[in-house]
Amino acid sequence: MSTGRFSRVYSAVALAAAALLCGQAALAQVSAVRLRSGELLGVVADGVASYKGIPFAAPPVSDLRWKAPQPVLPWRGLKRADTYGPSCMQDPSFAKLFESPAPISEDCLYLNVWTPAKSPSEKLPVMVWIYGGGFTGGMTSIPGYDGTKLAQKGVVLVSIAYRLGVFGFLAHPDLSRESGKGSGNYGLWDQIAGLRWVRANIAAFGGDPQRVTIFGESAGGMAVSMLAASAQAKGLFQRAISESGGNLGPPKKGTEGGAGPQLLESAEAVGKQFLDKLGAHDLRAARALSAQALMSAQGPGLATPFRPVLDGAVLPRDEYEMYQAGDFNDTPVLIGTNSDEGGLFVKGPLTPAQFESQVRAAYGECADVILAANPHATDAEALRSAQNLMRDSTFAWSTWAWAKLQSQKGQGKAYVYYFDHPTPQTPNGSSHAAEIGFVFRTLGGPGQGPSGITGPVSPEQRATSELLSSYWVNFAKTGDPNGPGLPSWPAFTVQSQQVMHLDAHPAAGPVPNLRELTALDKYFAWRRQQNKGARASH
């Protein structure tokens, strides 16, 4: 796209946004709402009413630790909803990195609502945000996730919290026996409870409970993928957006390359060993442990063995195979990845010999196929290929596989993007999570994290933000990202694998990393076959 055409596109998007904002600024009159659980008083600013810290389930503490979320406890009187609820238990360094103001607590099942509606009869589309953070960190109170500016485009924005790490994903044989339906996915049950709250209550905020879009990034995008395949979430949303996230890889048993969920049996063994080391040999003793004792045993940062598991309830089996069988929640999907996802996670230096050794250790019989698709003759090539392999094996392959299966097996269309907006901090492309500030229209503000844009925002960056947020909002409204003044975004099909290149010259084009994805496709098919062989032998 020429500079002149980009300017014309930007002007069209900006004028449409300005007109929409002028219309919305006078609307936000829904400052108090009555719910089944009690009355709420929100805060109106910039044409949007916000409600923060709304409890959607009972505090998951004491005897409710490691149980599915229970009904919210009603309150008396008018509850002021002007402060975020506590963030779920995690390493405090994550909150500092993203400038979150909320305290950290095991009592954390709260959500937030931003609405531009002037009355409950508006029936605006609803977007429900699910944060990322490796299922170990993350919170709704990150300033970059503030929903005001996205809601100004005519949607009701909701962000929901969910339990993390050992609190959200500990599996254990005794927990499975207690529930009668597996264990380990309490964080996913929290998300489902939040969506059920939205279905029951969002009309009071001017939202349409029959026009709900779930969207998330990284672990949040993976969770969107899981909800898209879970019968427990059926009917709770009508569209899905996944930014750098998918769950189509085969189950993992150990250190195999690529992402994938845990098998229940192996996750239970990890959980039992964890609690045994703490001297908690039954559930009563485990639930008596302090939250800090569990956090200390889990360890710092994002390193944790506790992640989503094929529990037989939320996630019954391999999601790829579920899609092949047509067993999923069929909605339109908008999914994609960033050009330099791996740059945040893989650092140099790295020699060709080191890269080859890593690939052979992780990819087994398919190592030669992977190496052939990833140039590594020099140190620079080896590092770049290691970063790209991390991007593709963790995020991009699952997105590509999801798009193919949705377009083949479903009625809802798939729209795929490739975000590539280099900055001085990330000259090789867009890092992991870099698109979030563009989508939320919070560029330049606090809470952008290591990949976001802080400080002055250029006209080109502002234009890209208007482009992305318009696509996302259009999709939430209609199930199609296209709209007046926007570059045409075709649906993805197996026959015509067109993706939207969101860069300095936004336009549809071929999958840019198709060679690498095709190599990984062979690897994941081989690994899935290995898993079947192992099951047959048992």
Q: Point out the residues that are catalytic.
A: 218, 341, 432
Residue with tokens 């069209």: 12
Residue with tokens 């999907």: 333
Strands (E), 359-497: 414-419
- Helix intervals (H) in 325-377: 352-363, 367-373
Strands (E), 377-515: 414-419, 498-502, 507-510
Angle made by CA atoms 41, 45, 46, in degrees to the nearest 5: 150
Q: How far is CA 261 from CA 217, 346, 450, in A?
A: 17, 22, 27
Whole-angstrom distance, CA of residue 317 vs CA of residue 312: 7
What six digits make up the tokens of 405? Answer: 């299966």
Contacts of 412 by beta carbon, 8 Å cutoff, 6+ apart: 239, 330, 331, 332, 333, 406, 479
Whole-angstrom distance, CA of residue 417 vs CA of residue 342: 17
Closest by CA position to 221, among listed 300, 92, 113, 308: 308
Cβ–Cβ < 8 Å for 288, 103: no
At residue 124, the 3 state secondary structure works out as: strand
Radius of gyration for the alpha carbons in the chain, expressed in angstroms and rounded: 22
| Residue 257 CB neighbour total at 10 angstroms | 24
Q: Which amino acid is at 351?
A: T
